[in-house]
Amino acid sequence: MLMFMIAIVHSVEAYYLNPKIVSSYMEFPVFLTFLILIISEHVFGFVGLLIGVPLFYILVDLAKDLDVFVNKVKKVSSAIDTTKTSTKEAIHKNIRLSRSQGPSGE
């Protein structure tokens, strides 16, 4: 009977309380935390239970940082393309772009 009670308490702790505590701390849904724990335990064994959720959190954070970086690169690339286009148009119209004299010696 005692072994049965220990198994019940351990099951409640392992499958309900731990995912709920970790999910509230990491700001993940409980289901996702539970799924991460199950997958990481099957892949890495007991160590997976310890490193699964923090590793997933790090990967999500890296993905967010990568998204921010890609958006910044897109903005800079767009600004460079706009500047190139306007410069080409100004050269085509023979507009002086700086205070230096152009090739015609104006």
Q: Which residue has the higher pLDDT, 80 or 105?
A: 80
Dist CA 59 CA 77 (whole Å): 27
Q: Return the DSSP state at 95.
A: -
pLDDT of residue 102: 54
Is residue 32 within 8 A of residue 25, CB to CB? The reply is no
The tokens of 78 are what?
């767009």
Distance CA 89, CA 103 (A): 17
pTM of whole model > 0.75?
Answer: no
CA 19 to chain centre: 22
pLDDT score recorded for residue 96: 63
Is a pLDDT exceeding 70 seen at residue 49? yes
